[in-house]
Structure 1
Amino acid sequence: MTSDSVKDNLASAINIIPNREYLLQGSVVDQYVEVLLHRLRGLCDNVDDGAETFYDHEMCFTLGMNTPGTSALPLRVRRALDYQDAPYQLRYIGQQELDKNRPTIVRSSIDVACNSAIVEFLQELGCRLDFEYTARGYMFRKGRMKITVSKICKCGVGNKPENLELISQSYLVELSVLAPQGYDAIAEDMRLFAEQLKPLVHLEKIDYKRL
Structure 2
Amino acid sequence: MTTALQGVNLATLTSSAAPSLQEFVLQGSILDGSCDALIHRLQALCDNVDDGIETFKDHEIVFIIRTGPNQPVQLRGRRSLDHINMPWQLRYVGQSDVSDKNRSVTVRSFLDSCASENLPQFLQEIGFRIEYEFVAEGHMFRKGKMKITVSKIYKMPKPGQLDGLEPMTMSRLVELSVVAPSGSDTVADDMRTFAEQLKPLVTMEKVMPVMTMK
* 2:182 counterpart letter in structure 1: Q
Alignment check: 8 A CA contact 1:18 1:178 kept:
no
Moved over 2 A (4+): 208-211
Change (3 A) 1:42 1:187: same
State the match for 1:127 in structure 2. 128
State the match for 2:137 in structure 1. 136
* 2:115 counterpart letter in structure 1: C
Q: Give me the whole-angstrom Cα distance separating, in 1, the residues matched to 2:211 and 2:61.
A: 23
1:5-16 matches, cutoff 5 A: none
**Corresponding position: 1:62 with 2:76:** no
Residue 101 (structure 1) shift = 1.6
State the match for 2:35 in structure 1. 33
Larger radius of gyration: 1
- Structure 1 unaligned regions, length at least 5: 1-14
State the match for 2:170 in structure 1. 169
Change (3 A) 1:110 1:190: same
Residue 160 (structure 1) shift = 2.4
Residue 66 (structure 1) shift = 6.4
Change (3 A) 1:56 1:24: same
State the match for 1:86 in structure 2. 86
Alignment check: 8 A CA contact 1:134 1:155 kept:
yes
State the match for 2:48 in structure 1. 46
Q: Give me the whole-angstrom Cα distance separating, in 2, the residues matched to 1:156 and 1:109.
A: 30
**Corresponding position: 1:76 with 2:76:** yes
Residue 161 (structure 1) shift = 2.6
Q: Secondary structure at the match of 1:146?
A: strand
Q: CA RMSD in A?
A: 1.8
What is the aligned residue count?
Answer: 193
State the match for 1:110 in structure 2. 111
**TM-score where L is the length of structure 1:** 0.87
**TM-score where L is the length of structure 2:** 0.85
Residue 18 (structure 1) shift = 6.0
Q: Give me the whole-angstrom Cα distance separating, in 2, the residues matched to 1:184 and 1:128.
A: 35
Residue 65 (structure 1) shift = 5.7
**Corresponding position: 1:149 with 2:150:** yes
* 1:28 counterpart letter in structure 2: I
Q: Give me the whole-angstrom Cα distance separating, in 1, the residues matched to 2:207 and 2:183.
A: 22
Using the aligned pairs only, state the percent identity: 51
- Structure 2 unaligned regions, length at least 5: 1-16
Q: Secondary structure at the match of 2:95?
A: coil
